[in-house]
Amino acid sequence: MEPNAAVEADAEDDYMGDLSHFLPPSPSSPTRSLGVRKQPPKPAPPARGQAKRAKGLPWKEHRRQERDRSQREEDARTLAGMAEAIPESNVGFKMLKQMGYDPAARGAGAEPVGIEIRRSRAGLGAEPDASVAPLPQPSEPKTREEEERERKRQEEMVVELRSRKSTQWKGRRLVWDFRKAEAALAQLENREVEPPAPDGEEKEKGEDEEEEVITEEGLQTILDKLRVQHHYCLYCGCKFESAGALANECPGPNEDDH
């Protein structure tokens, strides 16, 4: 071989040595870089409130509502299917007719046994739980006369309640003023007054002893005695030097005057 021909042969490309001529270029292959490789950004963590709401009650409540809704839809489809009559083309219906069933017959066996859909775990024949109150039945709308009677009855109940509360408060106030006036009179007269016993000890006393009855007249008697003899006013809470000072400085003998 001549030298020129050998040089030309070496100058030609070696197509078997470079496989890139036969392989298609890959668009997904990453290009190499001598620089620093960038890290993908990390996703931000969810907020604490959002994580709690995702795991909390709303999700469970939503799942329970979905389950109840699907059960109600299933019950409605079941009841609707049971309400429809079986067509005569049905294979089971043909077998019933061959066994003597007559669709036009009346009496026992004419209608199928009613089916009650129960979602509880109680067995057949179990009585309903008495602790669970039944749903209230919708009541008929009241007439105008019934509404007026109901309104008057409620107003009378409110008036009676206020009167009873007022009577109880006046009774307690009367006892309180009587005890204070009695103690003040005893102190001014330099004598001792037996303090009232607790309720439990009063019951242990003999039945022969008569219980002291406190009245407004009894309270007024003590108040008059305090003012006339000792120039003392229970509601002012002080003793005056003379009857004239009591008459000029005290608004009056009763609590309402003060």
Identify the band that residue 201 occupies on the pLDDT scale cut at 50, 70 and 90: low
**Containing domain of residue 240, as a range?**
155-194+213-257
The pTM score is 0.37
- Residue 178 included in any domain: yes
With respect to residue 28, please indicate whether it lies within any of the assigned structural domains: no
pLDDT at position 209: 55
Q: Tokens 């049971």 correspond to what residue?
A: 82
Please tell me the predicted confidence (pLDDT) of residue 157: 94
Residue 45 backbone phi and psi in degrees, to 5:
-65, 145
Quick one: pLDDT at residue 106?
65
pLDDT in tens, 116-152: 777 777 766 666 665 566 666 666 777 888 889 999 9
Residue 160 lies in a domain: yes
As for how many domains the chain has, the answer is: 1
Residue 218 located in a structural domain: yes
Residue 175 belongs to a domain: yes
Residue of 36 and 71 predicted with greater confidence: 71
Q: Which residue has the higher pLDDT, 187 or 199?
A: 187
Least confidently predicted of 39-48, 70-79, 132-141: 39-48
Q: What was the pLDDT predicted at 33?
A: 46
Q: At 233, is the secondary structure helix, strand, or coil?
A: strand
**Residue 74 forms part of a structural domain:** no
**In this structure, are residues 233 and 240 in contact, taking their beta carbons and an 8 Å threshold?**
yes
Least confident of 16-20, 114-118, 248-252: 16-20
CA distance 196 to 173: 16
Residue 120 lies in a domain: no
| 238-239 and 232-233 beta bridge pairing | antiparallel
Task: Kindly give, in sequence order, each residue whose CB lies less than 8 Å from that of residue 222, ignoring residues fewer than 6 positions away.
Answer: 178, 181, 182, 185
Residue 184 φ then ψ, to 5°: -65, -40
User: Is 140 domain-assigned?
Assistant: no
* Mean pLDDT across the chain: 74
pLDDT greater than 50 at residue 35: no
